[in-house]
Amino acid sequence: MVVKLPEPREKIIENLLRLANTRLPADIGWALEAAAGWESNPAAATQLAAIMENVRKAEHLSKPMCQDTGIPIFYVRGKFDSSIVKDIREAVENSTKAIPMRPNTVDPIIRTNYGNNLGEGMPCVHFIPTDDDFTEISLLLKGAGSENMTRLKMLNPSDGMEGVKRFIIESVIDAGGRPCPPGIVGVGIGGTADECVAMAKRALLEPLDEEDPDSEIQALEEELFVKINQSGLGPMGLGGDTTVLGVKVRKSACHTASLPVAVNIGCWATRRASVRITESDVVYSQGARI
């Protein structure tokens, strides 16, 4: 069945890219405001004020909130339709000029810039096939400062949860100011090595103000949030009370002889957006659990 959308699908994806680039999700904005309210370090308070002013100007001017507009990572949920990849590529190329987005993609060996945020394997598109009567496209823009701080460790099961927590906290502290804190910490626990890293990244799509349905995961998120902020690393790594705005954890069953844990950090400008397309409607939002 052909669905008549109010505008072409590639234009809907262009809208999604502009939304993610220019408007910080409300839950992250609220977390920044809360952090500014309790921050006791004058230098940290100055950094938070500058961040919030930057956010306001980006939205007002409809311009990217960060010069590193990142690598677009798409998650497509719904009935499998490979033609959407063509629409995504067209939207990314058009948006690189129109928003504009900085051309970030290069050949990994000879370092030639493609000039349009495309290239072999780019943008990243992940399919989540379902029988739903809608298509949902979620977008995460990932800059290099935070992405370069990604960590994976294959722990021994005997390391237990104390080993897991220690690795997560050490990973964030060792990153210092490079991922532009305060940000969000995405964590994957379990699965295989590749799935563990993928879970950590997907966790960054979840709104900060939504509790995890698993009470043990929720308690772990809260514990890590407190302990990381007690480090004193602070905004931009310059010291202060706020190193992270939130921690989001995903888990998966794993091999009896393995205990994988991965950390993927989102900077203060954790840029995410989603759109749900039905037969009669197109609805945008800025957070999703997938």
Residue 49 lies in a domain: no
Percent of the residues in the chain that have a pLDDT greater than 90, as a whole number: 92
Average pLDDT estimate for 196-207: 98
Handedness of CA 237, 39, 49, 31 (dihedral sign): positive
The residues near 60 (Cβ < 8 Å, ≥ 6 apart) are none
16-49 pLDDT, tens digit per residue, is 999 999 999 999 999 999 999 999 999 999 999 9
DSSP annotation of 157: G
Residue 75 lies in a domain: yes
Residue 54 lies in a domain: no
* CA 152 distance to own-chain centroid: 17
Q: Categorize the per-residue pLDDT at 289 as very low, low, confident or very high, splitting at 50, 70 and 90.
A: confident
Contact 15, 275 (CB under 8 A): yes
Residue 185 lies in a domain: yes
pTM of the predicted structure, to 2 decimals: 0.93
For the record, the structure tokens of 160 come out as 């237990």
Q: Are residues 220 and 103 in the same domain?
A: no
41-62 pLDDT, tens digit per residue, is 999 999 999 999 999 999 999 9
* CA 289 distance to own-chain centroid: 12
Q: Are residues 73 and 182 in the same domain?
A: no
Domain total of the chain: 2
- How many Cα atoms sit within 13 Å of 77 on the Cβ side? 14
Q: Are residues 157 and 232 in the same domain?
A: yes
Q: Are residues 210 and 86 in the same domain?
A: no
The residues near 83 (Cβ < 8 Å, ≥ 6 apart) are none
Is the N-terminal amide bond of 103 cis, ω within 30° of 0? no
SS3 248: strand
Residue 43 lies in a domain: no
Residue 217: domain span = 145-266
Q: Are residues 200 and 227 in the same domain?
A: yes
SS3 128: strand
Question: Alpha helices, DSSP H only, in 203-265?
Answer: 215-229
- Give the pLDDT score at 288: 72
Q: Are residues 99 and 16 in the same domain?
A: yes
Residue 51 lies in a domain: no
Q: Are residues 88 and 151 in the same domain?
A: no
Report the candidate in 183, 236, 142 with the shortest Cα–Cα distance to residue 32: 183
DSSP string for 38-80: H---HHHHHHHHHHHHHHHHHHHHT--SSS---EEEEEEEES-
Amino acid at 222: E
Residue 59 lies in a domain: no
For the record, the structure tokens of 179 come out as 């991922």
- Give the pLDDT score at 5: 62
Q: Categorize the per-residue pLDDT at 210 as very low, low, confident or very high, splitting at 50, 70 and 90.
A: very high
For the record, the structure tokens of 196 come out as 């563990």
Q: Categorize the per-residue pLDDT at 3 as very low, low, confident or very high, splitting at 50, 70 and 90.
A: very low
Residue 44 lies in a domain: no
151-168 pLDDT, tens digit per residue, is 999 999 999 999 999 999
pLDDT, averaged across the chain: 95
93-117 pLDDT, tens digit per residue, is 999 999 999 999 999 999 999 999 9
- How many Cα atoms sit within 13 Å of 70 on the Cβ side? 28
